[in-house]
Amino acid sequence: MKTIHALSAVFLMLLLSSCTGLSTQDILDIKQPPKPDSVASDYSKALDKFSAMLTTYDLPETQVVLLGKTVHNKTACANLPMDITQMVATAVNRLGGKIRFAPYDPVYLEHEAIFLSQFGVPMGRELPALVIDGAITECDENLDALEMGVDGDAVGTYHGQEGEVSGGANKTSNISRITLDFHLMEYSSSLLLPRIQSSLAIDIKTIEGGYDFAIQVLGSGFGLNRSRKITQGKHEAIRAVVDMSMLQVLGKFLQVPYWRCLEDATPDNEVIKVLEETFARVPRENGIAVIQNLLQKHGYTTVQSSGVLDAATRNAISDVASKSNNQAPAQISPSLYSYLYINLPLDFSIIEHYSGNTYGQELTTLPALEKPQSPSLSNTGTTQFTSNLHTAVIYRPGKMGEVVLLSGDILKSGDHYKVVVEPEQDCYLYVFQKDSAGRLFLLFPRNDRHDGLSNPVLGNKAYEFPGNDKYFFLDQRKGDEQIYFYSSGKVDLFIENIVSQLTKNISDIQKQSLEKELLHYLSSKETVNASGPGKHLSLKQENGLKTIQMNRVQKLNKDKLYVFPFKHQ
């Protein structure tokens, strides 16, 4: 009997030592300092793809500065981070390029105010256009808790000796959910941009399991047990939601199919709707030219950007429709535009391949994500777009015939005038007038009308606004006035956003704030002068045609504009 007890004790000690004791390698591993690792989620890689798309297609055209409000935990869960602003900053800053993140720092703003008061000049800080507003809004714990287990024991005799064997196993699982909401807000008005938001939730799982085993003979025995608990990190999960939220919010703002950066993602119908609504406002001949430009990028090289629905264009549209499984109609339409735009082929050769399997190769199969361009801009490559304009400001002093206004000329209250512009290249045209009170008004495009005064404009075609036989007129406020002519190869998102807000039902104070922001944006550009006489233009008069000579302005681009001044007396 003593021998049995001694052997059992020795066996138990050896078993416990082999199962629970620290090995020499365990001790060496613990003594080594931990190695830091890069923190990134699968959605961080999606941001890299998104960044590459914006870089490839130069979106946005102008720099967008995003101010980051403090993003708090507004739930009752104390085991979540209370401030995730730095995660937002990392996600946005990962994009690089023309999307810049501006941290909110009251101390910095206080020092800036002191600098302004002492020296009388601002520090030159670029004001943000938008604000990222968000929070952790939901935290639901123990949504689904499951516990299961099995155990048993057996008693028996062997050669007259009584013994017992027992054992068991158990497993528990738990699911919690965290939700984050984000919006984009205008810095100048503190108004949220409509339909630009994300509300994403993520499930966090916890699994715990173990087993035990014991054997006893003649009152002596041994046993073993093992348990393990695995919990998905809540901070890691929140970072994944932040990355995905920034992708979604900025994708909606820039109106690009951001979901193509993700695996097996569902298209965002809101973005598609905006794309189709935008195309629906384009005049038909311009719409045909845009479709032709997209067809060229899809490989239909026989199609020309003529704005005419010719046989080559019809054949290409029919071919696209047959290959799209009825997703694209065989006619010029908003849905055809959105299909071609979303599914453009994209060359990601500028992207460095990421480590691991075929991630870098997968990028080459993604469709293009670019803003609709003017038809003739398809072969501009990396060269900065420039355009030349022929301009004229024409006025009618009383009942006299139309007269061409020269730079610095004088108009009087009640005078009627109009503006004529003829670009040499297809482009996006924006014309504003700053009156003697410093207020800014949009003269072109007039997208709320259906007389062709909308973007993009075609080269070598004259645009007369406010329209044929229509005129602007001067009020009673006198002073210096200016007309700004600005053209671009792509939609200017900053101007479009400001103009969109000005058309809404907002207070006059909010309108003036937006006008100042737009005027600051235009005034920051380099001004160019008319280079000399331009084209001759025939205008219809009551007694027949009258020919006028326009001014020619050269080499306008996204950094340059033409300013035409006159006096209001």
For residue 73, give every residue at least 6 positions away whose Cβ sits within 8 Å of its Cβ, in sequence order, or none: 80, 81, 82, 83, 84, 135, 136, 139
Compute the distance between CA of residue 11 and CA of residue 8 in angstroms, rounded to an integer. 5
Nearest to residue 43, comparing CAs of 226, 228, 236?
A: 236
Alpha helices in 74-158 (DSSP H): 85-93, 106-119
Looking at residue 375, its pLDDT comes to 32
The residues that bridge with 68 in the sheet, in sequence order, are 103, 132
For each successive 10 residues of the chain (569 residues), what is the average pLDDT?
A: 49 51 68 70 82 72 84 92 94 89 76 63 68 94 87 78 84 92 89 91 91 80 85 89 94 90 87 88 81 89 88 93 88 92 68 36 29 32 73 75 80 85 91 88 71 79 83 82 91 82 78 85 87 80 71 88 89
Structure tokens at 88: 């937002």
Compute the distance between CA of residue 131 and CA of residue 103 in angstroms, rounded to an integer. 10
Domain boundaries, the chain: 42-261, 269-372, 387-568
Compute the distance between CA of residue 62 and CA of residue 494 in angstroms, rounded to an integer. 7
Q: DSSP string of 308-349?
A: S--HHHHHHHHHHHHHTTTSS-SSSSHHHHHHHHHTEE---T
Q: Place domain 42-261 in its CATH homologous superfamily.
A: ABC-type transport auxiliary lipoprotein component (3.40.50.10610)
CB count in 10 Å sphere of residue 334:
19
Whose structure tokens read 């060496």?
28
C-beta of residue 242 within 8 angstroms of C-beta of residue 101: no
Looking at residue 272, its pLDDT comes to 92
Looking at residue 367, its pLDDT comes to 29
Looking at residue 422, its pLDDT comes to 92
